[in-house]
Chain A
């Protein structure tokens, strides 16, 4: 009887390791500085996490299929630059398009998201149609997007100057909130939460979501089951692209500007968050709450360790250790005795 109990506890810890680590981390930091447990800190962490969550949820689907996307960060940068260039205040002196009339907020956002969606679609097409390994296909796309973004960014009269003076409607989206003061709820957090809910529904409640898990679980069996592999892969990469686009818009909105270097290596953070959150790098395994916890762990490390004055270089070492340890631990869940 006691044996079964201890087995149950062990099982519980294995299945929920990521959440336990997150809670222990928060408790540990609070132990050193109790002020960490506060609404302000919590809100800051959530704001920091918002765009990362959106990017990670895009890459989540791709990793579920057994792939990876190295172009995510550059797509974020591209979307940020496009949005910023199209939404500057009329009275700003160094406008990207000096004679551009005021566009409604939604139009530039849709353009940026659509362009990133297209880039994703091309990724998916190349992976599905030509069988190029996703690592390579998206590495190429990463470089191409950066080049294209830099050409755009370098157009006269901008000539590679940081784009600033963003329209208030946009910056409000990134920094504004419902309500005021201590208990206000930032728009950006609401958007990330909505995206998380939608992605959860897609992953768990739609035919497409089930197909994605099946393709990642065993692509040959999926083919025999009558699933159109190519079509589903293209939708996965396109959807991820759209999410990067949205994240790029929000990055511009949050920081009030954009350069072609926005988003650099964000894909690595997103991949790390996914694998720490229990998404199997070989595909087929992973849950949305796990991804959220993965992102939050890194935000808590960033914010919390800075809060208690840990040297940022030490933070990097801690992050690296967590990535490797989490995956080594996670693999035990599914490894079967031979």
Chain B
């Protein structure tokens, strides 16, 4: 290992309103090595990589490439500096073929007279050569949409390599690969290493990291915990360094008393999709807060969306208050007394162009229809006002468009929307995502109050302290399967992390 660094990110800080996403983080990568970047969700890995890729502008700190200071404004400049990235979500144009995807934005050209055309033959040759070098068996003319997800992943890797990158960032590259394909990915990574390319490898899979990485940098709460040679690390060491944070008083006291009465029972719930949830069985008690933990890809969202009738179920039974029910639409779920706060607040929660009043009332309109079929506007306004005040939503008026409120206040409006329907079971998917610290506490308080009133809550969270601080019991999932429950004394970050990686290769 040599002492020169191909990439140095020195003392990077980045602040968002209400949250310090990166605090004086230094991250250095040597050429020809695999450097793993680890941390919990929200530890700052993505933010750091986005700073490197020019998607965010750091508030402080400098980036050096081969010892020279650089300013990176956008993804293209990052590529020009020899940094390329394989994204966690695939970015291919599924309707076009492989080689067009690889050379998009930099097609080889040829001139015929006054006209410029794309040089298809050269493009084909170059693509073939690229794949041969990487020992990938992909036809450059295959339509991407017809390829399997794992092959598309390989294509993305080839594309990253095709930029002659000095540094390749791989964000969860193995998430959609089979065991055999992961072996091949590692083969490719070793080839790249031998050619002097540095790999930044982001993954939750500790076993993989220990197998492939040379060095490991661990982040926690936007701060660097440290950097170690992978050979000096073990599974337990990594976990304790990732999660070892003292818990302060970040959560309100909970006074709810879960009863022994079951309100919701799920037996063997299985998705028709191969990669999704399988054989999930659990019980939810009256007045209980049940947390669901797990890593990205554990299929937690898919599970509760299926409970709410948004996704199909192949097998399994759901019992609500002791009676078996079939929930095949959100309307059915709502009528039973369930409600769902989705994870993607903007995509599936708010109506951005409608005002706070309409956003608050929309799920409860049937209750305001008078006998003449018209809506009772004064009742609507009064109820919305009551709910908005009860949850302390900070809004200039009910007529304000919801898109003009902060994320935390939007989330409170969504709580208000569902509280008006007087639900008995609340499904909350990452209820505090993208919300600043102060508003988080308010959301926790709302949850604690609701449970105290005897409502039952299931909430998904990727933040382990939140699970430990708010849940009576924590159910942990891994790759679509239920890996166990923890509660009380056993509810430690180490135990959750162990369960969350239980079925990983």
Residues on A facing B (Cβ under 8 Å): 201, 205-207, 210-211, 213-214, 217-218, 220-228, 280, 284-285, 334, 336
Could you say which residues of chain A place their CB within 8 Å of the CB of B329?
A: 226, 228
Whether a CB of chain A sits under 8 angstroms from the CB of B361 is yes
Q: A206-B373, A226-B330 are in contact. Are A211 and B351 (CB under 8 A)?
A: no
Partner of A207, one of B330, B351, B375: B375
Whether a CB of chain A sits under 8 angstroms from the CB of B352 is yes
Q: A224-B310, A225-B363 are in contact. Are A206 and B375 (CB under 8 A)?
A: yes
Could you say which residues of chain A place their CB within 8 Å of the CB of B342?
A: 221, 224
Could you say which residues of chain A place their CB within 8 Å of the CB of B374?
A: 201, 205-206
Shortest C-beta distance, A54 to chain B (Å), equals 22
Instruction: Tell whether, in the assembled complex, residue B377 and residue A224 are in contact, meaning their CB atoms are under 8 Å apart.
Output: no
Partner of A210, one of B365, B373, B417: B365
Find the A residue at minimum CB distance from B402.
A217
Find the A residue at minimum CB distance from B376.
A205
Could you say which residues of chain A place their CB within 8 Å of the CB of B366?
A: 207
Shortest C-beta distance, A4 to chain B (Å), equals 15
Assembly CA distance A284 to B362 (angstroms): 13
Shortest C-beta distance, A10 to chain B (Å), equals 17
Could you say which residues of chain A place their CB within 8 Å of the CB of B362?
A: 210-211, 214, 222, 225, 227
Whether a CB of chain A sits under 8 angstroms from the CB of B403 is yes
Whether a CB of chain A sits under 8 angstroms from the CB of B75 is no
Find the A residue at minimum CB distance from B341.
A224
Could you say which residues of chain B place their CB within 8 Å of the CB of A213?
A: 351, 354, 358
Could you say which residues of chain A place their CB within 8 Å of the CB of B354?
A: 213-214, 217, 284
7 A-B residue pairs with Cβ-Cβ distance under 8 Å, sorted by A, are A210-B358, A211-B362, A221-B342, A221-B351, A225-B330, A226-B331, A227-B362
Shortest C-beta distance, B12 to chain A (Å), equals 23
Interface hub of A205, A217, A218, A224 (most chain B Cβ within 10 A): A224
Whether a CB of chain A sits under 8 angstroms from the CB of B70 is no
Interface hub of B329, B347, B362 (most chain A Cβ within 10 A): B362
Find the A residue at minimum CB distance from B374.
A205
Could you say which residues of chain A place their CB within 8 Å of the CB of B368?
A: 207
Q: A201-B374, A221-B348, A336-B403 are in contact. Are A211 and B365 (CB under 8 A)?
A: yes
Instruction: Tell whether, in the assembled complex, residue A214 and residue B331 are in contact, meaning their CB atoms are under 8 Å apart.
Output: no
Find the A residue at minimum CB distance from B369.
A207
Find the A residue at minimum CB distance from B418.
A225
Could you say which residues of chain B place their CB within 8 Å of the CB of A214?
A: 351, 354, 358, 362
Find the B residue at minimum CB distance from A213.
B354
Whether a CB of chain A sits under 8 angstroms from the CB of B334 is yes
Q: A205-B374, A207-B369, A207-B375 are in contact. Are A226 and B363 (CB under 8 A)?
A: yes
Instruction: Tell whether, in the assembled complex, residue B373 and residue A217 are in contact, meaning their CB atoms are under 8 Å apart.
Output: no
What would 6 more interface pairs be, CB under 8 Å, given A207-B366, A221-B348? A205-B375, A206-B373, A217-B351, A222-B362, A224-B340, A284-B354
Shortest C-beta distance, A298 to chain B (Å), equals 25
